[in-house]
Amino acid sequence: MTDRNVYPLNLESFGRLIEAAGYERFETDEASHRVSLRIKGDEVTLHLDVILGVSPDGDPWYVRFLSYAVDFSPIGAGIPEPKLMGWLNAKNADVLFGRYYWDREYDTIAFEISVPGNGGIVGEDFQDILRIATASVDRTHGVLRELAKEPQETPAPEPE
């Protein structure tokens, strides 16, 4: 069903749009301007934050979708950091919008898309971005699992 209605940028609208996408359980955190939910994908369980971006004056002006796996760590799975960084650079070169990055502190691959919305956001657009921030990230972790299974190069011994 196409939803061409324009919704104001606020947490209540985000909650309604998340429910319309078929997700019943989510948490709203007014203090951090975010709605959060867990989604069980085919490859991983994802955490998704839909964050309301506000100006210094407190006016809403963008939406940030941030997703990451809660049950997969690339370095912990055996992917060497240089190989992971090369993979990230290649992956980001193919992404039309948004970006993947490695959060070193938590050893997770995150994906984020931020979109301006001074006049609000179209319901269909919100749901499309929600799907991108979840389904594509879920599939990406399947690729990362395969990357972790590949034989790793052993560094040559140091000359004496």
Residue pLDDT, tens place only, 11-54 = 999 999 999 999 999 999 999 999 999 999 999 999 999 999 99
Asked if residue 157 belongs to a domain, the reply is no
Domain with 11 in it: what CATH number?
Answer: 3.30.1460.10
Across 59-77, average pLDDT: 96
CB atoms within 10 A of CB 157: 6
Asked if residue 32 belongs to a domain, the reply is yes
Best CA proximity match to 143, nearest among 93, 97, 99, 77: 77
Asked if residue 48 belongs to a domain, the reply is yes
Asked if residue 70 belongs to a domain, the reply is yes
pLDDT of residue 1: 60
Best CA proximity match to 54, nearest among 75, 74, 32: 32
Render pLDDT for 133-153 as a digit per residue (tens, 0 to 9).
999 899 999 999 999 998 877
Secondary structure (3-state) at 16: helix
Task: Judge contact between 126 and 48, C-beta under 8 A.
Answer: no
Asked if residue 52 belongs to a domain, the reply is yes
Asked if residue 63 belongs to a domain, the reply is yes
Q: Is the pLDDT score of 108 beyond 80? A: yes
Q: Is the pLDDT score of 4 beyond 70? A: yes
pLDDT of residue 157: 65
pLDDT of residue 138: 94
pLDDT of residue 156: 59
The model carries a pTM of 0.90
Q: Which domain holds residue 30?
A: 6-149
Across 117-121, average pLDDT: 91
Asked if residue 87 belongs to a domain, the reply is yes
Asked if residue 158 belongs to a domain, the reply is no
The total number of structural domains that make up the chain: 1
Please tell me the distance from the alpha carbon of residue 34 to that of residue 73, in angstroms, as a whole number. Answer: 24
Secondary structure (3-state) at 135: helix
